[in-house]
Chains A and B, each alone.
Chain A
Amino acid sequence: MVGRKLLVLFGSQTGTAQDTAERIGREAKRRHFHCRVEALDSYEVANLINEPLVVFVCATTGQGDPPDNMKMFWRFLFRKNLPPSSLCQLDYAVVGLGDSSYPKFNFIAKKLHKRVLQLGGNPLLPVVLGDDQHDLGPDAVIDPWLLALWDKILTLYPLPPGLEIISPDVRLPPKYTLHYLAEDSSHPGGGQLQPTAPRAVPSELHPFAARMVSNQRVTAESHFQDVRLIEFDISGSGITFSAGDVVMIQPQNRPEDVQQFCQLLRLDPNRCFVLKPTEPGTPLPALLPQPCTIRYLVTHYLDISCVPRRSFFELLSYFSTNELEREKLEELSSAQGQEELYSYCNRPRRTTLEVLWDFPHTTCAVPPDYLLDLIPLIRPRAFSIASSLLAHPDRIQILMAVVRYKTRLSKPRCGLCSTWLASLNPDQGDVRVPLWVKKGGMKFPADPDTPVIMIGPGTGVAPFRAVIQERVAQGRRGNCLFFGCRQKTKDFYCQAEWEELVTKGFLTLFTAFSRDQEEKVYVQHRIRENRRLVWELLSSRSAHIYLAG
């Protein structure tokens, strides 16, 4: 097995690239490769010149941007001072994940492929461009490409004599083993977040447990949509931000769902456990306290409300004791079964918990060791910060619409984070929410005289509320806002605030209430009506224009 090394490096924003990378890692193990799967920014890039074989799996996010966990690597890769033959020992391949409805479709994968080539790398195959717009998702092109890749790789590194590819029927070992502590051992208050050391700026690995100060509904009770203005106290956190920045919030599962999950898997929520890695050197999961309770794991860590991926069905099929269920699970994880998987799971947005309910014989046979392989970590949700520190020091406010919609499933779909936040009532006790701040994409003019035109229908107005508060505090008057919603009496949030600013001469406001009259009126109609003003601001005053929503 000496020399059979494969490195899979990924850059993932929503977890899809990571899932694909882990799949490639499993396929490599079945072919007797010693394989590591790591995020690009966690990898020691100095070693790249010595790697013989690397598969890069990179998503493109935002406006042709690299995901957060490869931003450092990306800046390194394009340094002019890197010698052109640096990667001459490297055989590589690139998997791209993107969405062709965006203009910069898979730009990161395309650029990465060319840059590594430029640095002397040897590509094993052309770059494969997974596309969310395909009816069957990125796997539609990745599946056949992977077959070709393994062919190529096994030609370079043929299987050692006497060894076969480990059959897909054989289950691979879990990443961690779960060891229960004795039932009567005292356990920590498992479930409480430890306060961060004051010097560290809060981040994904060290969120700040912010106290919720208020949680007000800003749409009329009779309006179909529940929109909240929520305020958090961030004093003592070390967090600073400017208008346009984004707050990341780590949500948790509902107690009813946690209970149902534990019942289905026959887990005792109160038991304590520790995790041990199966392969020495594998780091333990960062956000899990050790020891930990089952309740904490299922509430804060396991994303049981996410739509399960193909790899979930593949792994689940190994535990099945029921032939009917196993066959169905195998079918849903096969290449031929992807259409059915999309129809059963992705299109109606069926949750992991709902799928487990549908496969009762298999679910009760899932060993706890495999829980972290089966179900991913809950992902944080991003919200534009809707307030300025200059107007509300030590506070973060967000404007949040509760996500709720119907698919063909009888139970309506609910946003995990928005539903959780909406359910919290700061008047009933100390409510804490883990959060941290990320830089936003919008930049505002440094020159105080430059006017700003903002177009923000609905909750898109959130970052502009922050901008306006900041600029008003700085005495800047050139603020023009186009706001649109459905009805003046129902969802015209922040009405009082805007009207006060208009009276004081700080804000020029144009509103479009789409359903207050027979014909639909939207922000673009208002822009057109006021095109002379808009043009004058742009051409003679060099106004900056922003759009969100």
Chain B
Amino acid sequence: MGEYGVTPGQHVAIIWDSSSPAEALKDLVEKIQALVGADSRVAVENVNQLFQSAHRESSFDVILSGVVPGSTAQHSAEVLAEIARILKPGGRVLLKELVVTESGNNSRIKTAAKLPVALTLSGLVEVKELQKEVLTPEEAQSVQEHLGYQGNDLLIVQVEGKKPNFEVGSSSQLKLSFAKQPGPSGKPSLDPATAKLWTLSANDMNDEEMDLLDSDELLDSEDLRKPDPSSLRAPSCKELGKKKACKNCTCGLAEELEQKKNSQPKSACGNCYLGDAFRCASCPYLGMPAFKPGEKILLKENQLHDA
């Protein structure tokens, strides 16, 4: 495993802010790119642009934030939540943040205790504090410039967190089994007392005074859903071929149909005398029963009109 625990082929996001020195950021990006290999799997984001970028959820294996040496990043609850969203299930975030050691200071900077809590509240698990560092003089200077904070109780803490190993919205069935030891058939054996109660109840069919459960309570919101209407359509449900010419027909179909109406219809397939099950879609005898052998059928005038 390379530095920061990044392995080849992973999708990595590096989040920086205005306090991160440009050179150091470039160095870090190159280092990570070398680790994961080519194909631009490294996304580099300014924390203020993070929301606009609207990355697809669950797209990154590793997110590094505030780890550029010299950075004084502060992670808000919204940023942490966004990080949690775009991490893949089981993915890791590694971040560095300034903390104060004493609480009670009227400052935006979190206390050492509050930082892991902030990660947990955003939905990350296995939150671990990896290391604490005292600021170098340059870093202290940087803090003063960017955050206007002057105190000497600052530390830089490196914290790691993980996204839980299931996706938002996934479901899993709980196994609530009160099963007793299985009997010889491999099934749980039936308690004789239970069997007796059931039998007694079953033999008393006079249920005028029986207490009944409300069956509606068994249903949940999933049960109240209706099927999607598109799922109810058959792949091809066409009307049996009835040709209709448009009112101002110019293609000649109208005349063709007129002619058909006036002449005795001819069978296209030769199966007309069999029932509807065997006739083709344009058969003029559709709708009539099968003919008796030797029977000659003359269609009545009104039966030749389009329905």
Contacts and interface: CB of A to CB of B under 8 A. Distances in A.
Contact of A72 (B201, B205, B276, B290): B205
A52 B187 CA distance: 9
Interface string A426-454: 00000000000000000000000000000
A420 interface: no
A117 to B, nearest CB: 9
B237 A83 contact: no
Contact of A79 (B185, B203, B207): B207
B187 A89 contact: yes
Contact of A46 (B179, B187, B202, B276): B202
Interface string A354-396: 1101111000000000000000000000000000000000000
A233 interface: no
Given A115-B218, A343-B240, A359 B190 contact: no
Given A75-B210, A358-B276, A410 B287 contact: yes
Interface string B78-114: 0000000000000000000000000000000000000
A257 to B, nearest CB: 13
Interface stretch (B61-69, B118-126, B191-199): B191-199
Interface in B200-247: 201-203, 205, 207, 210-213, 215-216, 218-219, 223, 226-227, 231-237, 240
A111 B219 contact: yes
B197 A107 contact: no
Given A100-B232, A135-B237, A358-B277, A410 B207 contact: no
A328 B219 contact: no
Contacts of B277: 328, 332, 344, 355, 358-359
A264 B269 CA distance: 26
A432 to B, nearest CB: 33
B234 A339 contact: yes
A520 interface: no
A88 B187 contact: yes
A13 interface: no
A45 B202 contact: yes
Given A75-B210, A360-B290, A82 B201 contact: yes
B48 interface: no
Contacts of A342: 234
B37 interface: no
Nearest to B231: A134
Contact of A111 (B188, B218, B234, B303): B218
Contact of A324 (B210, B232, B278, B289): B278
B80 to A, nearest CB: 38
Nearest to B218: A114
B237 A107 contact: no
B307 interface: yes
A81 B232 contact: no
B199 A135 contact: no
Contact of A75 (B207, B236, B276): B207
A344 B240 CA distance: 10
Contact of B275 (A100, A118, A339, A358): A358
Contacts of A358: 274-277, 289-290
B36 interface: no
Interface string A68-81: 00001001101111
Contact of B190 (A49, A81, A110, A114): A49
Interface residues on B, range: 35 or more
Interface residues of A, number: 55
B171 to A, nearest CB: 13
Contacts, number: 142
Interface in B137-190: 178-180, 185, 187-190
A236 interface: no
A135 B198 contact: no
B227 A100 contact: yes
B135 interface: no
Contacts of B190: 49-50, 85-86, 88-89
Contact of A80 (B212, B223, B233): B212
Given A114-B218, A115-B218, A408 B286 contact: yes
B55 to A, nearest CB: 35
B215 A339 contact: no
B22 interface: no
B187 to A, nearest CB: 5
Given A76-B207, A409-B287, A89 B188 contact: yes
Contact of A339 (B219, B227, B236): B236
B205 to A, nearest CB: 7
Nearest to B237: A135
Interface string B266-294: 00000000111110000000111110000
Contacts of B307: 408
A33 interface: no
A339 B240 CA distance: 12
A260 B33 CA distance: 86
Contacts of A46: 198-199, 202-203
Contacts of A344: 276-277
A84 interface: yes
B289 to A, nearest CB: 5
B218 A83 contact: no
A120 interface: yes
A76 B201 contact: yes
Contacts of A348: 287
B198 A49 contact: yes
Contacts of B289: 354, 357-358
A133 interface: yes
Given A49-B198, A134-B231, A408-B286, 11 more contacts: A75-B207, A76-B207, A78-B215, A82-B201, A85-B194, A100-B226, A133-B232, A135-B232, A136-B234, A328-B277, A343-B240
20 contacts: A78-B213, A83-B197, A83-B198, A85-B178, A85-B188, A85-B190, A86-B197, A88-B187, A88-B188, A89-B187, A131-B227, A135-B237, A140-B234, A328-B277, A342-B234, A358-B275, A358-B276, A358-B277, A358-B290, A359-B277
Interface of A: 44-46, 48-50, 52, 72, 75-76, 78-86, 88-89, 100, 105, 107, 110-111, 114-115, 118, 120, 129, 131, 133-136, 140, 324, 328, 332, 339, 342-344, 348, 350, 354-355, 357-360, 408-410
Interface of B: 178-180, 185, 187-191, 193-195, 197-199, 201-203, 205, 207, 210-213, 215-216, 218-219, 223, 226-227, 231-237, 240, 274-278, 286-290, 303, 307
Which 9 interchain pairs have the tightest Cβ spacing? Answer: A358-B275, A46-B202, A135-B234, A114-B218, A410-B287, A80-B211, A134-B232, A83-B194, A78-B213
